[in-house]
């Protein structure tokens, strides 16, 4: 269970979770109502005033406004890694052939041979994960 914390402005939050999109939308609406121009990024609104209203830091308000001006989106920035597969089916077949030719081949040998023939830069952890999955 995650514990709630209170920031120095008195707002409760869950560590590691960003502001909800509806709060971001309200912040952006406040800035636009104060003659904020999203194409130029100029606003007469005080980030400090908006921040006090929502009990967050003025840096957070500035980042939300800048992201909105850059992307026209009030949504949170995606976080986390790129979990797309880095190796194609042909690459996996090549590794299968390497393993079948010499079953006692070390992980670093597989990595070196694969890089020599494909010039595809991956990490040894990629191969370790493949072996863990039972490739």
* H or E element in which residue 13 lies: strand 12-13
Residue predicted with more confidence, 14 or 115 = 14
Mean pLDDT, the chain, as a whole number?
84
Q: What are phi and psi of 115, to 5 degrees?
A: -65, -40
What pLDDT is attached to residue 72? 85
Residue predicted with more confidence, 115 or 53 = 53
Q: How many Å apart are CA 57 and CA 74, to the nearest integer?
A: 17
Which pLDDT tens digit goes with each residue over 20-41?
899 999 999 999 999 999 889 8
State if pTM tops 0.75: no
């Amino acid at each position: 269970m995650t514990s709630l914390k209170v920031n120095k402005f008195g707002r409760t939050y869950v560590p590691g979770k960003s502001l909800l999109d509806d709060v971001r939308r309200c912040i952006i609406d406040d800035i636009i109502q104060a003659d904020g121009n999203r194409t130029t990024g100029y606003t007469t609104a005080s980030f400090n005033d908006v921040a006090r209203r929502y009990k967050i830091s003025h840096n957070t308000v500035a980042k939300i406004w800048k992201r909105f001006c850059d992307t026209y989106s009030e949504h949170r920035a995606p976080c986390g890694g790129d979990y797309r597969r880095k190796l194609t089916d042909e690459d996996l077949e090549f590794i299968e052939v390497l393993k079948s030719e010499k079953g006692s081949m070390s992980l670093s040998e597989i990595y070196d041979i694969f890089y020599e023939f494909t010039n595809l830069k991956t990490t040894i952890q990629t191969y370790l994960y493949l072996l863990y999955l039972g490739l």
